[in-house]
Structure 1
Amino acid sequence: MKVIVAIILILLVVFLCMKLSISLFFQHAQDDDECRITFSMLFGLIRYTVRIPLIKVDKESPGIVVAHKQTVQNVSESEPKRSKYNPREIVHSFKEAKDFVHHVVHLHVIARKFFSHVSVTKMEWQSKIGTGDAAKTGLVVGMGWSLKYGVVAIISKYMRLKTKPLLSITPSFQQAVSETKFVCMIHFRIGHAIVAAIRIIKYWRGNRWKKETFNHQANESY
């Protein structure tokens, strides 16, 4: 019996220490969009991919249409599914996110602790921008560089940026062009994600845990 308990504890520790890798690929080329998110464990032996090959605005009625499918490596691949989100549903989603933030005491502290354990090992962001007018193109390119540097600054502040970001913007002065490609890979241990989830439940407003308790333990490390 003790041997079984010991084996279970060892497997549990191994699982908690296991790293989860998330790869994000997004590409926009004029009216063609594609988004792909891949979750992998055990050096890629276990892999799950969500593909969103099409994101567009429905011209017939207000809303956004998304075509997506899920893929489990070497196991199965679902048929493409189309989902439509109208403005009311989108606003409702933002409202739910706002309510979630409001209900967790000091959610930003919990998130900061979790993100401090997230490593960014790959980041590429390439864009091609043009408006057909040289002056306007130069202005848009400048805004694009400001946006990219701002995103990198936020990531390096809250996460472990272990690679040099590859950023580029190619201006097109002769024609209107809108293209971008973003690739990012992050890693974190499953145990850190579970601890963050437990803290969110623990400090949910309305339960028996008090805000003072959180403030007392806010500086605890994992």
Structure 2
Amino acid sequence: MSFGLFISLSLISLLFVFGFIFILLPLKIKLRYFYQGENSYFRLEIKLWPGIRVYRRLFFRNKFKSEGKKKYPDSPLGNIYQFIVYYRPLLLKLFPVMLYFIKKLKLQQLYWQTKIGLSDTAFTAMAIGWIWSIKGLFLAIIYRYLGLPATKPVVVVTPDFSKPAFIFLINSVFTVRAGYFLVAGVKIMITFLFYFLTRFLRHLGQNHPYRASTGQS
């Protein structure tokens, strides 16, 4: 065996070993979402064991306006609803991929706080009950797909009877194998590619000169 071939095989073997070790390493994913009007933000941080930061991004909430009027409702639910309606076909295609990835996650920590106040104290009390019901439902779903977390979740609902207010904070930590993360990322990229390619081809078909001329005749 020649020296060059030996070096090549050695490098390939090392890459294979390091790649195998990498896909087995755990990733720590930290999600933090805070909503309080214009002071809202979303932070995503991904770390690779033993503490190497892979990705960190801070997203601030933008105020959507159109000619002095707000384009979307000034609430997180309103913005989420608009997003779901617009991208519904894409979200339906991504759902199986996201479900696959979610099942691979392990919840390590969860802190979920909500503070709400309405103009009427009776309505505030009713809202507190609804929020507790919604949080209980979400926790049941989380336990079903992710199992019990490493630490007991902290869930807080605080009423504000003095003034209208809405504050939402969720801070969570997940772990997942890097291999599952890469597989899910590749599947998401393929889904995005086919979705937008299909839309582009459909748009070209609708604007084709032959189709336009036959439609006019």
Structure with more of its chain in strand, by fraction: 1
Number of aligned residue pairs: 176
Secondary structure, in 3 states, of the residue corresponding to 2:136? helix
Does structure 2 retain, via aligned residues, the 8 Å contact 1:30–1:177? Answer: no
Query: In the alignment, which residue of structure 1 is the partner of 2:142?
Result: 155
Q: 2:60 aligns with which of 53, 58, 61?
A: 53
Secondary structure, in 3 states, of the residue corresponding to 1:125? strand
Structure 1 unaligned blocks of 5 or more: 65-86, 206-222
Secondary structure, in 3 states, of the residue corresponding to 1:156? helix
Does structure 1 retain, via aligned residues, the 8 Å contact 2:38–2:61? Answer: no
Q: 1:35 aligns with which of 26, 42, 64?
A: 42
**Per-residue deviation, 1:138:** 0.5
Secondary structure, in 3 states, of the residue corresponding to 1:167? strand
Cα deviation digits, residues 162-206 of structure 1 (max 9, x gap): 23210011111222121121101111112113334566759x89x
Secondary structure, in 3 states, of the residue corresponding to 2:137? helix
Question: Structure 1 length as normaliser, TM-score?
Answer: 0.66
Q: 2:71 aligns with which of 63, 67, 82?
A: 63
Query: In the alignment, which residue of structure 2 is the partner of 1:70?
Result: none
CA distance in 2, matches of 1:93, 1:174: 34
Letter in 1 for 2:165: V
Letter in 2 for 1:63: K
Provide the alpha-carbon RMSD of the alignment.
3.0
Does structure 1 residue 187 correspond to structure 2 residue 175?
yes
Structure 2 unaligned blocks of 5 or more: 1-7, 73-78, 196-217
Does structure 1 retain, via aligned residues, the 8 Å contact 2:28–2:49? Answer: no
**Per-residue deviation, 1:13:** 0.2
Secondary structure, in 3 states, of the residue corresponding to 1:185? strand
Distance 1:199 1:57, change over 3 A: closer
**Per-residue deviation, 1:19:** 1.9
**Per-residue deviation, 1:98:** 1.6
Question: Structure 2 length as normaliser, TM-score?
Answer: 0.68
Structure with more of its chain in helix, by fraction: 2
Q: How high is the sequence identity, in percent, across the aligned residues?
A: 22
Query: In the alignment, which residue of structure 2 is the partner of 1:137?
Result: 124
Q: Which has the larger radius of gyration?
A: 2
Letter in 2 for 1:181: L
Cα deviation digits, residues 133-184 of structure 1 (max 9, x gap): 2210111111111121122111111123323210011111222121121101
Letter in 2 for 1:34: Y
Cα deviation digits, residues 59-117 of structure 1 (max 9, x gap): 624436xxxxxxxxxxxxxxxxxxxxxx9xx9687444524634x7xx53x54443222
CA distance in 1, matches of 2:185, 2:58: 26
Alignment of 1:1-222 (within 5 A): 1-58=8-65, 60-63=68-71, 94-99=85-90, 101-102=92-93, 108=96, 110-162=97-149, 163-196=151-184
**Per-residue deviation, 1:53:** 2.8
